[in-house]
Protein backbone atom coordinates (compact mmCIF):
# COMPACT_ATOMS: atom_id res chain seq x y z
CA UNK A 1 0.00 0.00 0.00
CA UNK A 2 1.29 3.49 -0.85
CA UNK A 3 2.30 5.66 2.09
CA UNK A 4 0.09 8.58 3.10
CA UNK A 5 2.88 10.97 2.11
CA UNK A 6 3.16 9.45 -1.37
CA UNK A 7 -0.62 9.43 -1.83
CA UNK A 8 -0.86 13.09 -0.78
CA UNK A 9 2.14 14.28 -2.79
CA UNK A 10 0.17 15.26 -5.90
CA UNK A 11 -3.26 16.15 -4.46
CA UNK A 12 -4.69 19.55 -3.73
CA UNK A 13 -7.99 21.29 -3.12
CA UNK A 14 -8.79 24.54 -4.92
CA UNK A 15 -11.41 27.21 -4.13
CA UNK A 16 -12.21 29.85 -6.77
CA UNK A 17 -12.02 29.09 -10.50
CA UNK A 18 -12.36 32.61 -11.88
CA UNK A 19 -10.22 34.55 -14.36
CA UNK A 20 -7.06 33.69 -12.41
CA UNK A 21 -8.02 30.55 -10.52
CA UNK A 22 -9.30 28.61 -13.51
CA UNK A 23 -6.05 28.77 -15.51
CA UNK A 24 -4.01 28.13 -12.36
CA UNK A 25 -5.98 24.96 -11.63
CA UNK A 26 -5.59 23.88 -15.26
CA UNK A 27 -1.82 24.24 -15.01
CA UNK A 28 -1.79 22.10 -11.87
CA UNK A 29 -3.66 19.37 -13.72
CA UNK A 30 -1.26 19.66 -16.67
CA UNK A 31 1.64 19.20 -14.23
CA UNK A 32 0.14 15.95 -12.94
CA UNK A 33 -1.74 17.18 -9.87
CA UNK A 34 -5.07 15.70 -8.87
CA UNK A 35 -7.22 18.80 -8.27
CA UNK A 36 -10.55 18.79 -6.47
CA UNK A 37 -12.22 22.20 -6.49
CA UNK A 38 -15.20 24.18 -5.31
CA UNK A 39 -16.55 27.16 -7.22
CA UNK A 40 -19.73 29.14 -6.71
CA UNK A 41 -20.67 28.74 -10.38
CA UNK A 42 -20.80 25.23 -11.83
CA UNK A 43 -20.11 26.59 -15.32
CA UNK A 44 -16.39 26.87 -14.54
CA UNK A 45 -16.09 23.08 -14.49
CA UNK A 46 -17.23 22.86 -18.11
CA UNK A 47 -13.94 24.53 -19.07
CA UNK A 48 -11.97 22.29 -16.69
CA UNK A 49 -13.13 18.72 -17.33
CA UNK A 50 -10.15 17.20 -15.50
CA UNK A 51 -10.81 19.09 -12.27
CA UNK A 52 -12.97 17.14 -9.82
CA UNK A 53 -15.91 19.02 -8.35
CA UNK A 54 -16.44 19.17 -4.58
CA UNK A 55 -19.97 19.64 -3.26
CA UNK A 56 -18.75 22.21 -0.74
CA UNK A 57 -15.59 23.81 0.61
CA UNK A 58 -15.93 21.53 3.63
CA UNK A 59 -15.74 18.64 1.19
CA UNK A 60 -12.06 19.53 0.72
CA UNK A 61 -11.29 18.98 4.42
CA UNK A 62 -9.09 15.92 3.84
CA UNK A 63 -6.96 17.41 1.07
CA UNK A 64 -3.33 17.93 2.15
CA UNK A 65 -3.40 21.44 0.66
CA UNK A 66 -6.32 23.78 -0.01
CA UNK A 67 -5.68 26.78 -2.27
CA UNK A 68 -7.97 29.81 -2.04
CA UNK A 69 -8.18 32.17 -5.03
CA UNK A 70 -11.09 34.49 -4.16
CA UNK A 71 -11.30 38.30 -4.47
CA UNK A 72 -10.43 39.20 -0.86
CA UNK A 73 -10.01 37.77 2.63
CA UNK A 74 -13.65 38.31 3.73
CA UNK A 75 -14.71 36.05 0.83
CA UNK A 76 -12.19 33.43 1.95
CA UNK A 77 -13.30 33.62 5.57
CA UNK A 78 -16.95 33.24 4.55
CA UNK A 79 -16.17 30.30 2.26
CA UNK A 80 -14.13 28.57 4.97
CA UNK A 81 -16.73 28.70 7.76
CA UNK A 82 -18.03 25.15 7.27
CA UNK A 83 -14.52 23.84 6.62
CA UNK A 84 -13.29 25.20 9.95
CA UNK A 85 -16.35 23.83 11.77
CA UNK A 86 -15.58 20.42 10.26
CA UNK A 87 -12.01 20.65 11.54
CA UNK A 88 -13.19 21.66 15.01
CA UNK A 89 -15.27 18.48 15.11
CA UNK A 90 -12.49 16.31 13.68
CA UNK A 91 -9.03 17.85 13.17
CA UNK A 92 -7.36 17.39 9.79
CA UNK A 93 -4.16 15.47 9.20
CA UNK A 94 -1.08 17.19 10.69
CA UNK A 95 0.73 19.29 8.12
CA UNK A 96 -2.41 20.39 6.24
CA UNK A 97 -1.79 23.71 4.48
CA UNK A 98 -4.28 26.44 3.58
CA UNK A 99 -2.68 28.52 0.82
CA UNK A 100 -4.11 32.01 0.32
CA UNK A 101 -3.14 33.11 -3.20
CA UNK A 102 -5.45 36.13 -3.33
CA UNK A 103 -4.31 39.70 -2.68
CA UNK A 104 -5.24 40.24 0.97
CA UNK A 105 -4.34 42.33 3.99
CA UNK A 106 -0.98 41.29 5.53
CA UNK A 107 -2.33 41.67 9.05
CA UNK A 108 -5.66 40.12 8.10
CA UNK A 109 -4.04 36.94 6.78
CA UNK A 110 -2.05 36.65 10.00
CA UNK A 111 -5.30 36.76 12.00
CA UNK A 112 -6.78 34.17 9.64
CA UNK A 113 -3.75 32.00 10.32
CA UNK A 114 -4.50 32.15 14.05
CA UNK A 115 -8.14 31.21 13.40
CA UNK A 116 -7.17 28.21 11.27
CA UNK A 117 -4.57 27.09 13.83
CA UNK A 118 -7.17 27.15 16.58
CA UNK A 119 -9.91 25.45 14.53
CA UNK A 120 -7.62 22.65 13.34
CA UNK A 121 -6.14 21.89 16.75
CA UNK A 122 -2.79 23.08 15.47
CA UNK A 123 -2.80 20.60 12.56
CA UNK A 124 -3.26 23.15 9.74
CA UNK A 125 -1.13 26.14 8.81
CA UNK A 126 -1.94 29.16 6.64
CA UNK A 127 0.55 30.24 3.99
CA UNK A 128 0.07 33.42 1.98
CA UNK A 129 1.26 33.18 -1.62
CA UNK A 130 -0.26 36.01 -3.70
CA UNK A 131 0.58 36.21 -7.38
CA UNK A 132 1.48 38.77 -10.01
CA UNK A 133 1.34 38.40 -13.76
CA UNK A 134 -2.34 38.78 -14.55
CA UNK A 135 -4.44 36.42 -16.60
CA UNK A 136 -1.64 35.98 -19.15
CA UNK A 137 0.72 34.78 -16.43
CA UNK A 138 -2.00 32.53 -14.99
CA UNK A 139 -2.68 30.96 -18.38
CA UNK A 140 1.01 30.50 -19.25
CA UNK A 141 2.06 29.30 -15.80
CA UNK A 142 4.54 32.17 -15.53
CA UNK A 143 3.20 33.91 -12.43
CA UNK A 144 5.47 35.51 -9.85
CA UNK A 145 4.47 34.01 -6.50
CA UNK A 146 5.36 35.82 -3.26
CA UNK A 147 5.29 33.50 -0.27
CA UNK A 148 4.94 34.09 3.46
CA UNK A 149 5.68 30.82 5.29
CA UNK A 150 8.17 29.01 7.48
CA UNK A 151 11.15 27.55 5.57
CA UNK A 152 9.83 24.03 6.09
CA UNK A 153 6.32 24.83 4.86
CA UNK A 154 7.75 26.65 1.85
CA UNK A 155 9.94 23.70 0.90
CA UNK A 156 6.95 21.36 1.10
CA UNK A 157 4.76 23.61 -1.06
CA UNK A 158 7.39 24.66 -3.59
CA UNK A 159 6.58 21.89 -6.16
CA UNK A 160 2.89 22.83 -6.06
CA UNK A 161 3.58 26.53 -6.50
CA UNK A 162 6.16 25.91 -9.23
CA UNK A 163 3.43 24.32 -11.36
CA UNK A 164 1.73 27.74 -11.50
CA UNK A 165 4.64 30.18 -11.58
CA UNK A 166 8.21 30.61 -12.76
CA UNK A 167 9.33 32.98 -10.00
CA UNK A 168 8.52 31.55 -6.57
CA UNK A 169 10.17 33.20 -3.56
CA UNK A 170 9.79 32.96 0.20
CA UNK A 171 9.98 36.47 1.66
CA UNK A 172 9.49 35.74 5.35
CA UNK A 173 6.80 34.45 7.75
CA UNK A 174 3.04 34.55 7.22
CA UNK A 175 1.99 38.00 5.98
CA UNK A 176 5.25 38.66 4.10
CA UNK A 177 3.84 37.47 0.78
CA UNK A 178 0.86 39.80 1.10
CA UNK A 179 3.10 42.75 1.99
CA UNK A 180 5.24 42.00 -1.08
CA UNK A 181 2.09 41.91 -3.22
CA UNK A 182 1.03 45.25 -1.76
CA UNK A 183 4.40 46.69 -2.82
CA UNK A 184 3.91 45.15 -6.26
CA UNK A 185 0.50 46.79 -6.57
CA UNK A 186 1.90 50.13 -5.47
CA UNK A 187 4.28 49.99 -8.42
CA UNK A 188 1.75 48.61 -10.91
CA UNK A 189 -1.03 50.98 -9.87
CA UNK A 190 1.03 54.15 -9.92
CA UNK A 191 2.88 53.19 -13.10
CA UNK A 192 -0.36 52.43 -14.92
CA UNK A 193 -1.80 55.75 -13.76
CA UNK A 194 1.32 57.61 -14.93
CA UNK A 195 1.16 55.92 -18.33
CA UNK A 196 -2.55 56.76 -18.60
CA UNK A 197 -1.82 60.36 -17.75
CA UNK A 198 0.95 60.48 -20.35
CA UNK A 199 -1.35 58.93 -22.95
CA UNK A 200 -4.05 61.55 -22.39
CA UNK A 201 -1.54 64.40 -22.47
CA UNK A 202 0.06 63.09 -25.66
CA UNK A 203 -3.20 62.47 -27.51
CA UNK A 204 -4.70 65.84 -26.60
CA UNK A 205 -1.47 67.45 -27.83
CA UNK A 206 -1.78 65.75 -31.23
CA UNK A 207 0.66 62.90 -30.66
CA UNK A 208 0.02 59.24 -31.52
CA UNK A 209 0.03 57.30 -28.24
CA UNK A 210 1.24 54.02 -29.72
CA UNK A 211 4.28 55.73 -31.21
CA UNK A 212 5.00 57.45 -27.91
CA UNK A 213 4.85 54.19 -25.97
CA UNK A 214 7.06 52.48 -28.57
CA UNK A 215 9.86 54.98 -28.09
CA UNK A 216 9.39 55.06 -24.31
CA UNK A 217 9.78 51.28 -24.17
CA UNK A 218 13.31 51.63 -25.54
CA UNK A 219 14.43 54.01 -22.79
CA UNK A 220 14.47 54.28 -19.03
CA UNK A 221 10.65 54.46 -18.93
CA UNK A 222 10.41 50.94 -20.35
CA UNK A 223 8.79 48.38 -18.02
CA UNK A 224 6.70 45.23 -17.91
CA UNK A 225 3.72 47.42 -17.06
CA UNK A 226 4.28 49.44 -20.23
CA UNK A 227 4.69 46.25 -22.29
CA UNK A 228 1.52 44.61 -20.99
CA UNK A 229 -0.86 47.47 -20.14
CA UNK A 230 0.50 50.02 -22.62
CA UNK A 231 -1.24 48.56 -25.71
CA UNK A 232 -4.58 48.53 -23.88
CA UNK A 233 -4.08 52.12 -22.76
CA UNK A 234 -3.20 53.21 -26.32
CA UNK A 235 -6.20 51.39 -27.82
CA UNK A 236 -8.57 52.41 -25.00
CA UNK A 237 -9.30 48.70 -24.62
CA UNK A 238 -10.91 48.35 -21.22
CA UNK A 239 -12.26 44.80 -21.48
CA UNK A 240 -11.52 43.29 -18.06
CA UNK A 241 -8.55 41.05 -17.49
CA UNK A 242 -8.98 41.96 -13.83
CA UNK A 243 -11.34 44.58 -12.37
CA UNK A 244 -9.75 47.98 -11.76
CA UNK A 245 -11.62 48.32 -8.44
CA UNK A 246 -9.28 45.75 -6.87
CA UNK A 247 -6.38 48.18 -7.22
CA UNK A 248 -8.09 50.50 -4.75
CA UNK A 249 -8.37 47.61 -2.28
CA UNK A 250 -4.70 46.67 -2.76
CA UNK A 251 -3.50 50.24 -2.32
CA UNK A 252 -5.48 50.31 0.92
CA UNK A 253 -3.24 47.49 2.14
CA UNK A 254 -0.19 49.60 1.23
CA UNK A 255 -1.45 52.59 3.20
CA UNK A 256 -2.44 50.43 6.18
CA UNK A 257 0.93 48.63 6.21
CA UNK A 258 2.77 51.93 5.90
CA UNK A 259 0.90 53.30 8.91
CA UNK A 260 1.91 50.28 10.97
CA UNK A 261 5.53 50.51 9.83
CA UNK A 262 5.77 54.29 10.20
CA UNK A 263 6.65 54.72 6.52
CA UNK A 264 5.55 57.63 4.30
CA UNK A 265 3.81 56.58 1.07
CA UNK A 266 2.97 59.77 -0.87
CA UNK A 267 2.58 57.94 -4.19
CA UNK A 268 0.21 55.36 -2.71
CA UNK A 269 -1.78 58.09 -0.98
CA UNK A 270 -2.28 59.93 -4.27
CA UNK A 271 -3.04 56.76 -6.21
CA UNK A 272 -5.65 55.47 -3.78
CA UNK A 273 -7.59 58.71 -4.25
CA UNK A 274 -7.40 58.37 -8.04
CA UNK A 275 -8.70 54.78 -7.96
CA UNK A 276 -11.43 55.83 -5.52
CA UNK A 277 -12.47 58.42 -8.11
CA UNK A 278 -12.41 55.70 -10.79
CA UNK A 279 -14.88 53.67 -8.72
CA UNK A 280 -17.06 56.74 -8.12
CA UNK A 281 -17.22 57.18 -11.89
CA UNK A 282 -18.66 53.66 -12.21
CA UNK A 283 -15.60 52.23 -13.99
CA UNK A 284 -14.46 49.75 -11.34
CA UNK A 285 -15.52 46.56 -13.14
CA UNK A 286 -13.50 47.37 -16.24
CA UNK A 287 -9.81 46.65 -16.83
CA UNK A 288 -7.09 48.44 -14.90
CA UNK A 289 -6.33 50.39 -18.08
CA UNK A 290 -9.64 52.22 -17.60
CA UNK A 291 -7.77 54.54 -15.26
CA UNK A 292 -7.08 56.44 -18.49
CA UNK A 293 -10.80 57.09 -18.89
CA UNK A 294 -11.05 58.12 -15.25
CA UNK A 295 -8.29 60.67 -15.81
CA UNK A 296 -9.91 61.85 -19.06
CA UNK A 297 -13.10 62.56 -17.12
CA UNK A 298 -11.35 64.86 -14.64
CA UNK A 299 -11.26 68.61 -14.97
CA UNK A 300 -8.10 69.67 -16.82
CA UNK A 301 -5.30 71.56 -15.10
CA UNK A 302 -5.44 75.26 -15.86
CA UNK A 303 -2.35 76.64 -17.55
CA UNK A 304 -0.18 78.77 -15.32
CA UNK A 305 -0.11 82.44 -16.31
CA UNK A 306 2.97 83.53 -18.22
CA UNK A 307 5.40 85.64 -16.25
CA UNK A 308 5.67 89.24 -17.41
CA UNK A 309 8.89 91.25 -17.38
Which pLDDT value is given to residue 6?
43
Q: What is the pLDDT of residues 168-214, one digit of tens each?
A: 999 999 999 999 999 999 999 999 999 999 999 999 999 999 999 99
Q: Is the pLDDT of residue 308 over 60?
A: no
Q: Is the pLDDT of residue 83 over 80?
A: yes
Average pLDDT rounded to a whole number, residues 60-88 = 97
Q: What is the pLDDT of residues 225-255, one digit of tens each?
A: 999 999 999 999 999 988 999 999 999 999 9
Q: What is the CATH number of domain 4-173?
A: 3.40.50.720
Angle subtended by helix axes 176-204 and 209-216, to nearest 10: 130
Q: What is the CATH number of domain 179-296?
A: 1.10.1040.10
Which pLDDT value is given to residue 243?
93
Question: Contact, 76 vs 43, CB < 8 A?
Answer: no
| Helix locations, the chain, DSSP H | 4-8, 21-30, 73-79, 81-89, 106-119, 134-140, 151-162, 176-204, 209-216, 224-235, 245-261, 266-280, 291-296
The residues spanned by each domain of the chain are 4-173, 179-296
Average pLDDT score, the chain? 94
Which pLDDT value is given to residue 140?
97
Q: Is the pLDDT of residue 307 over 70?
A: no
- State the pTM of this model: 0.90
Amino acid sequence: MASTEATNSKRTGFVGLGLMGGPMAANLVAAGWNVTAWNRSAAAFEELPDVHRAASVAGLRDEPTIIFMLPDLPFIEAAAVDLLESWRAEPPQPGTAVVVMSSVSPTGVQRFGETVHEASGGNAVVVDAPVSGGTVGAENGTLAIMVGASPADFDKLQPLLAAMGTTVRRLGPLGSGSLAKACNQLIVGTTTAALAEAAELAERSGMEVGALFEVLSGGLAGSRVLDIVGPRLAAKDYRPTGPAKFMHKDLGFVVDSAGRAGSAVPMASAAIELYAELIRQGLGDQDLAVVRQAIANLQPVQSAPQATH
